[in-house]
Chains A and B, each alone.
Chain A
Amino acid sequence: MGTYGSLQAAGPVLDALGDPTRRVILDTLRRGGPSSVTALAEQVPVSRPAISQHLKVLGAVGLVQHEARGTRNIYRLHRAGLGELRDWLDQFWGDALDAYADHIRRTEVREDEPPTTGRRTKEERG
C-alpha cells in the first residue's frame, strides 16, 4: 500500500477500481473462480490483450494474484488488497483527527477553564 499516510497511497487502488471493465473482471473472477486470460475473454467483451493489461493493473495494486500453470497464467482475486485499503484509510483518518484534537487541546483550552464535564462551556469567540 505504499508509504503509510501519504495521500497518494490509496490512489492507485481507487483508480484501478474506477474502471468499469476492471470491475467486471474482478466480478467475473469472484463469481467464476480462478481463470486464465482466455477464459476471461470469453466472458468479458474486450480483447485478450486488453484483459491482460487490466489484469496487470489489478495485480500492481494487489487486487489480483496470478500463478503459472503450464504455459498459462491463472488469475485469482487477492482479497487482502481491499482490506489493506480500508485499514489504511482507517489509520489515515484516525491520525488526522488525533492531530486535530491535540491541536485544539493545546491551543484552545484555557488554563483557568479546564474542560471538565458539567462546567459551563464558554465560547470565547463568536
Chain B
Amino acid sequence: MTVEPGLAPLVKRVVVPVGVERAFEVFTAEMSAWWPLPSHSVGEDTAREVRFEGAVGGRIVEYGDDGELASWGTVSDWDPPKSVSFTWHPGSDPQQAGHVTVTFTPVVGGAEVALVHSGWERRPDGARARTGYDTGWDYVLGHYVTFWR
C-alpha cells in the first residue's frame, strides 16, 4: 500500500436516491437549494445565494443582498453527469486554492456522490521543482501527518 507523500486527500461519500443525471444537476445547478449557507459561507447570515456556473472556467459565487460577496472557486473540469472539479479558496488567497473533485456513480438505488478534497498541497503545476527555498507545502505538510500518526 502506497503512502501518500503529502497529506491524504479528504474523501466524503453519500448515496442519494436519484439517478446520476439528477444528482449532478442538484449538486451544481441547484446548489443554492441545499447548500447550508448560514453556516457554510463567507457572509454567513448575510449570504443569500450561491451559484455554480456550469462550465469550465465558471465560478462558484456567493451572493448577498448587494450582489457578489465572494468567489469560492473556479470550475476546472466539467463532465456531466460523471464528474465536476473545481478549485476551492473561499475566504482565502486564490493562489493557494485547494482542489475538489465530485464524482457521480450509478449504484443500486441511486447515485453515489464522492467528494475528494485534495487541495492541501500546492498543485504540482508544471512540475515545480522542490529546490531552493520553496520546499512545496505538500512536503512540509506530509511531515506533519507523519508526526501525528
In addition to A97-B113, A103-B34, 18 A-B residue pairs with Cβ atoms within 8 Å of each other are: A8-B92, A14-B93, A14-B98, A18-B95, A18-B137, A24-B133, A44-B133, A82-B144, A86-B10, A90-B10, A94-B12, A96-B40, A100-B16, A100-B113, A104-B17, A109-B17, A116-B109, A125-B25
Interface flags for A75-117 (1: CB within 8 Å of B; 0: not) read 0010100110010011011111111111111011100000111
Q: Contact check, B144 vs A93: say whether CB atoms are below 8 A apart.
A: no
Q: Is B129 an interface residue, CB under 8 A from the partner?
A: no
Q: Contact check, A86 vs B19: say whether CB atoms are below 8 A apart.
A: no
Q: Is B56 an interface residue, CB under 8 A from the partner?
A: no
Interface set of A (CB-CB < 8 Å, partner B): 3-12, 14-15, 17-18, 20-21, 23-24, 26-27, 30, 44-45, 77, 79, 82-83, 86, 89-90, 92-105, 107-109, 115-119, 121, 123-126
Interface set of B (CB-CB < 8 Å, partner A): 7, 10, 12-19, 21-23, 25-27, 33-36, 39-42, 44, 62, 70, 72, 89-93, 95-96, 98, 108-110, 113, 115, 117, 133-137, 139-141, 143-145, 147-148
List A contacts of B22 (CB < 8 A). 104, 108, 123-125
Residue of B nearest to A26 (CB): B140
Choose from B26, B90, B140, B147 the contact partner of A27 (Cβ within 8 Å): B140
Give chain A nearest CB distance to B21 CB in angstroms: 7
Residue of A nearest to B70 (CB): A7
**Total A-B Cβ pairs within 8 A:** 158
Q: Contact check, A79 vs B33: say whether CB atoms are below 8 A apart.
A: no
Q: Contact check, A93 vs B140: say whether CB atoms are below 8 A apart.
A: no
7 inter-chain pairs at a CB distance below 8 angstroms, sorted by A residue, are A11-B92, A23-B140, A82-B145, A92-B40, A93-B12, A96-B36, A105-B16
> A7 with B41: in contact, given A17-B141, A23-B140 (CB under 8 Å)?
yes
Choose from A8, A44, A90, A100 the contact partner of B34 (Cβ within 8 Å): A100
Give chain A nearest CB distance to B98 CB in angstroms: 7
Q: Contact check, B93 vs A100: say whether CB atoms are below 8 A apart.
A: no
List B contacts of A125 (CB < 8 A). 21-22, 25
How far does the alpha carbon of A118 sit from the alpha carbon of B17 in the complex, in Å? 12
Choose from A23, A97, A98, A107 the contact partner of B134 (Cβ within 8 Å): A23
Top 9 A-B pairs, shortest CB-CB distance: A115-B17, A8-B91, A11-B92, A103-B34, A18-B96, A5-B39, A11-B91, A7-B90, A104-B16
Q: Contact check, A15 vs B10: say whether CB atoms are below 8 A apart.
A: no
